[in-house]
Chains A and B, each alone.
Chain A
Amino acid sequence: DAGVIQSPRHEVTEMGQEVTLRCKPISGHDYLFWYRQTMMRGLELLIYFNNNVPIDDSGMPEDRFSAKMPNASFSTLKIQPSEPRDSAVYFCASTRSTGVNTEAFFGQGTRLTVV
């Protein structure tokens, strides 16, 4: 398996524009997580899905952020409208719920810059 695949790797956009980040989890994994890395807060959990259903979106900063998982192999994180304070690295991770020892695998991240 190629691992968790995120696209794009880098995104530069102007304030007010819509941004869509994409993630393909590892095949067979039933959990998908979106994290954001910032200097101030470290690696913070935004939202996670189980079997394509959003379970907990309490980490989503505000209504400008939304996430979907239309099927088991694809998820999007959308920011509309984007603001400079959204600039960060966004990671997607996936795991399979086979037992307590299961680990989560991370994608390479999308570095978002909003100017």
Chain B
Amino acid sequence: ILNVEQSPQSLHVQEGDSTNFTCSFPSSNFYALHWYRWETAKSPEALFVMTLNGDEKKKGRISATLNTKEGYSYLYIKGSQPEDSATYLCAPRMDSSYKLIFGSGTRLLVRP
């Protein structure tokens, strides 16, 4: 069983605050790390796919870093907005099969 841990489970912040959360995964047999954004009543949408140790990806106010040697990734949101409220999921790929095993997610609520 693949152990994917995300923390915190939930986060409430004020509009304008910057925030970050963590995804931990086994550091052996690593292929890629996916981040998804999942709004209520919608389907998960891909944010980033990262593969190399030290990778950094950015999309607008959201960025992510990857440490494959120690098995973790951080997702950062700068200047949170209410529309950022969603569950953020990470899913590592640990073999060549393309299957994604998702963590339980971090549920972010941004208050206006």
Interface size class of B (residues with CB under 8 A): 20 to 34
Interface 9-residue window, one of A13-21, A65-73, A75-83, A100-108: A100-108
B97 within 8 A of A: yes
Q: Which listed residue, A31, A91, A97, A102, touches B43 by the CB 8 Å rule? A: A91
Describe B's contact surface by its main secondary structure.
loop
Q: How far is the CA of A109 from the CA of B12 in the complex (A)?
A: 27
A50 within 8 A of B: yes
A107→B43 contact, CB < 8 A: yes
Q: Nearest Cβ distance between residue B53 and chain A, in whole angstroms?
A: 13
* A-B pairs with beta carbons under 8 Å apart, 27 shown: A33-B99, A35-B102, A42-B103, A42-B105, A43-B102, A43-B105, A44-B102, A50-B98, A55-B99, A56-B97, A56-B99, A91-B43, A95-B98, A97-B98, A100-B31, A100-B49, A101-B49, A101-B51, A102-B98, A103-B49, A104-B34, A104-B98, A105-B46, A106-B43, A106-B45, A107-B43, A108-B43
A60 within 8 A of B: no
B97→A50 contact, CB < 8 A: yes
Q: How far is the CA of A35 from the CA of B36 in the complex (A)?
A: 14
B43, B102, B104 pick with most chain A CB within 10 angstroms? B43
Q: Which residues of B contact A53 (CB under 8 A)?
A: none
Query: How many residues of A are in contact with the other chain, CB < 8 A?
Result: 24
Residues of A bordering B, CB below 8 Å: 31, 33, 35, 42-45, 48, 50, 55-56, 91, 95, 97, 100-109
Q: Nearest Cβ distance between residue B96 and chain A, in whole angstroms?
A: 9
Q: Which of B63-112 contact A (CB under 8 A)?
A: 89, 93, 97-105
Q: Which residues of B contact A56 (CB under 8 A)?
A: 97, 99
**Chain A residue with Cβ nearest B99:** A48
Q: How far is the CA of A101 from the CA of B46 in the complex (A)?
A: 11
